[in-house]
DNA sequence: CCTGAATATGCCCTTGCGGTTATATAGCTG
DNA sequence: CAGCTATATAACCGCAAGGGCATATTCAGG
């Protein structure tokens, strides 16, 4: 039985893991930031994040399954490319909050001011 | 020794927990969404998220320590109020990505199109 | 005071995550 | 084919996160 490894294309439809959880890890944010500039090899990313090769590979898997990166094989190398679409979900969640912190009279300030009055 | 409980004001300077991790939990996002409309009592929030009272209370603690909510005691009640400022950090991280998913020729599409050509 | 209401903490348990090392797979290259 | 390179998986581990229940604290009201 041929035991298909390298089954990335399995969840192309993806959206499995939700993007908020994926971004919770700083290493994964780091990887995305690096890919923002240009596609990179898995090896480059491993060196950049400062984790072991398998450790980095697992983060890459999470990013793939969340649809945040795509992979292009080239011989034994793997070119990872950014796919920012899922970030739109976070952006959408953030939207109704965005006007709020623009120079408003902060709730915490109000709170502390109120305390001084006592 | 007076063993000060209710030590919320301890980390007013806060920023301890980072906002990405805090938002990773759907219950906490739910709470923030509810507080977007108006301040609410802890009890209201408990009912809304559908967790046990202590469970909700723990999420509220995390939100407090991240500076995402403030509390105003009123007798035994606690009014929780949204404090969106820490979300600015997420917004800032997202900013350099935001232009990318606006009607671009998606990397995944490119990838699949390329596969068809074979 | 005593009781009940509202909420926070302590404790326990289970699960999942992130990390590491060892191993498997795939594809060059001699 | 043998060996080397690049990368993914497997197996394992420690720890923190999230959930529940029991308990403590604070306060209002009879």
Model confidence band, residue B101 (pLDDT cutoffs 50, 70, 90): confident
Sequence-ordered alpha helix ranges (H) in A26-76: 26-37, 42-49, 53-65
Model confidence band, residue B102 (pLDDT cutoffs 50, 70, 90): confident
- Nearest CA-CA partner of B111 in A21, A46, A18, A67: A67
CB B56 within 8 A of CB B49: yes
* B10 pLDDT above the threshold of 60: no
**Interface contact flag, A101 B88, Cβ < 8 Å:** yes
To probe the interface with A, which of B37, B90, B96, B112 has the most A CB atoms within 10 Å? B90
CB A32 within 8 A of CB A68: yes
**Interface contact flag, B83 A108, Cβ < 8 Å:** yes
Mean local confidence (pLDDT), A34-40? 98
Model confidence band, residue B15 (pLDDT cutoffs 50, 70, 90): very low
pLDDT at A46: 97
Least confident of A31-40, A74-83, A108-117, B29-38: A108-117
Q: What is the rounded distance in angstroms from the CA atom of residue A79 to the CA atom of residue B19?
A: 30
What pTM value is reported for the model?
0.82
Tokens of A79: 């070119």
**CA R_g for chain B:** 20
Nucleotide nearest residue A61, measured CA to C1': D8
Chain B residues with CB under 8 Å of A97 CB are 32, 36, 84, 87
Q: Is the dihedral of CA A11, A74, B97, B26 positive or negative?
A: positive
Residue A1 to residues A4, A5, Cα–Cα distance (Å)? 9, 12
Q: What is the rounded distance in angstroms from the CA atom of residue B97 to the CA atom of residue B27?
A: 26
Strands (E), B1-118: 40-41, 69-74, 77-82
DSSP per-residue codes, B14-43: ---S-HHHHHTSHHHHHHHHHHHHS-EEHH
pLDDT at B5: 32
Q: What is the rounded distance in angstroms from the CA atom of residue A36 to the CA atom of residue A38?
A: 6
**What is the overall mean pLDDT for chain A?**
83
């Amino acid at each position: 039985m041929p035991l298909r490894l390298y089954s990335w294309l399995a969840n192309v439809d993806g959206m499995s893991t939700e993007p908020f959880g994926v971004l919770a890890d700083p290493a994964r944010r780091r990887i995305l930031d690096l890919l923002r500039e240009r596609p990179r090899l898995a090896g480059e990313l491993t060196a950049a994040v400062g984790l072991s090769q398998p450790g980095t590979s697992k983060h890459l898997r999470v990013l793939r399954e969340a649809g945040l990166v795509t992979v292009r094989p080239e011989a034994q190398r793997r070119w990872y490319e950014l796919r920012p679409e899922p970030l739109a979900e976070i952006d959408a969640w953030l939207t109704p909050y965005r006007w709020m912190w623009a120079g408003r009279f902060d709730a915490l300030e109000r709170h502390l001011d109120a305390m001084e009055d006592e």
